[in-house]
Each structure stands twice: as structure tokens, then as C-alpha cells.
Amino acid sequence: MLERIRIILVGTSHPGNIGGAARAMKNMGLSDLALVAPRAQFPHPEAEHRATGATDILSRVNVYDTLADATTDCTLIAGASARNRNMPWPLIKPRALGEQLKATLPNPQAQAALVFGREDRGLSNEELHQCHLHVNIPTNPDFSSLNLAAAVQVLAYEARLALHEEAEAQQPPFGTEWDVPFATGEDLERFFVHLEKTLVDIDFHNPNNPRQLMARLRRLYLRAQPDTMELNILRGILSATEKCAATASTSKSAGQTQHQGHSDTDPHHE
């Protein structure tokens, strides 16, 4: 349906903006660019340069004398407008425009136009009055004039989201595309038993005076939702730590006076 959204640039002065708009369009899957009475020379090397790989869109641009000529086949015409003008007109935000496109374009006869005005003074009232609705991109009120290609980027992005990405626009559940299975509750509980035993072995943890140690560690690890490979790594570390503790304990009992200095080691400092 994105192919039935025409981007129309009216009276554009800078050829770079035409190229930037073409690139933004192609990034979002749009392909139909029209120019109305461009003030910039077109074609122009600066347009090609800013379009990067979107020169195919530039090569298919149609140029018209008036906005009416560019929209003869359009059933939904939305004009970008920085502010409401003297006569109020239906005025929506880009996200609502996405919804409108989603409601409109499934009809195969529908053809949409998103119209962008001159860099210095936007669309004329006459042009705005040819639009079914006006779209206002939310901006910092102290600095509200978007670059033309940036404005095209935002509306094309909302169009793509509404028409192609809706299901994905919501955050996919964590781990949707994970490559390793997540650890099960059973795996995790075995790990916590192992962890607690190891912490006792290294004299870090006293089960008779546990404070909140295990609870805090559980919260940390559970929050991270470890996968089975990560859990294997953690358990490998615990096993290695246990072995080390066993060795230390053996050597301690073998020659307690000899290793007296070790009692200064802060077990919290690893």
C-alpha cells in the first residue's frame, strides 16, 4: 500500500532536500515523488548526492505546475503545516495520519498524497485549502521549522509503521529472537542452590545469618532472564569456585598457621 502514497514537494529551493526526501522515502518503502513548481534546478548533482542509493526515485519524479495537477488522482490529500492558519482545518498529528492511511489505503482505488511546502514559507493558504486535512509534526515551539527531508522522514516513518509494522511496533517480548533456549525454573533453582552452596564454601555467606543476600541475587539473575548457555557458564564458574574453595580448605586444615595471612582477604572483594 506504501506505493499508493505520493510525496509532493511544492516550490522546493534546495536540490539537496529533494535528494534527502527521496532517500527518506526509499528507507521507508515509499517510491512516488512529485515536484510542484520547484525553485531548485532539477535534476541536480546535489539531489543525486543526498539521495545516496535512492536515485531510482529521482529518475521517476514527475514535475507539475500546480498542486492541483499533482493530485488529480488523489483521494486523500494531507498537507504538512507548522501551525493552524487563519481558517481552522482538520489538523492531525503524524500518528493519526498513519491511522488515517491505514483506514484509507486498503481500498485499491485510494491514492494518498502527503504535501510539503517551501523551505521558507510552507504551503500557501490556497494550497492548504486543497488538502483534506493538515498534519502538524510536534516540535519544540521555540524551534519548530523542520528540515524538509526530516519532515518527509517523520511522516514516511509513521506511514510505514501504520501500514507495515504495526504488529512489530509494540516491543516484542524480550527474547523473541533469542538464539538459545531460556533457562527453566528448574534450571534456575538448581543454579540458586549451587550458588548458595558455593557462597557458603567461600565463607561469603552464612545461612544462619542470611540477611537478604540470596533474595537480592535471585532478583538480579531472574531479572536478566538467563538463557541455558549463560546459566551453564555461571554454573561452570561456581564449579570452578567450589574446587578452589575445596583446595583452600584442604590446604588450610593441612597447615593452618602457615596461611594465617589469608584471613585478611575480604571475601566480598572478588
Binding stretches for a copy of itself (CB under 8 A)? 20, 23-24, 26-29, 50, 52-54, 84, 87-88, 90-93, 95-96, 99, 137-140, 143-147, 149-150, 153-154, 157, 160-161, 164-165, 168-172, 174-175, 177-179
Q: Report the residue number, 49 or 243, with the smaller CB distance to a copy of itself.
A: 49
Q: How far is the CB of 84 from a copy of itself (least distance, A)?
A: 6
- Buried b / exposed e across 155-175, counting CB within 10 Å, b at 16+? bbbbbbbbbeeeeeeeeeeee
| Nearer to a copy of itself among residue 26 and residue 118 (C-beta) | 26
Q: How far is the CB of 14 from a copy of itself (least distance, A)?
A: 11
- CB-wise, 28 or 35, nearer to a copy of itself? 28
> 113 vs 155, which CB is nearer to a copy of itself?
155
What burial class does residue 104 get, using C-beta atoms within 10 Å of its C-beta: 0-12 exposed, 13-18 middle, 19+ buried? middle
Nearer to a copy of itself among residue 230 and residue 242 (C-beta): 230
In contact, 32 and 160? CB cutoff 8 Å: no
CA distance 182 to 149: 43
**CB of 172 vs a copy of itself, minimal distance in Å:** 8
Nearer to a copy of itself, 161 or 248 (CB): 161
Residues 90 and 133: beta-carbon distance below 8 Å: yes
Q: Is the dihedral of CA 83, 86, 92, 98 positive or negative?
A: negative
Q: How far is the CB of 51 from a copy of itself (least distance, A)?
A: 10
**Least separation in angstroms between CB 52 and a copy of itself:** 7
**Angstrom distance (rounded) from CA 220 to CA 156:** 40
Cβ at position 82, least distance to a copy of itself in Å: 11
Shortest spacing between CB 145 and a copy of itself, in angstroms: 8
Q: Give the closest residue to 15 by CA, choosing from 59, 52, 45, 54.
A: 45
User: Judging by beta carbons within 10 Å of its beta carbon (0-12, 13-18, 19+), is residue 256 exposed, middle or buried?
Assistant: exposed
Q: Count CB neighbours of 20 within 10 A.
A: 24
Of 115, 109, 111, 21, residue with least CA distance to 67: 115
Look at the block and give the residue holding cell 548458595. 196
Name which of 25 and 195 has its Cβ closer to a copy of itself. Answer: 25
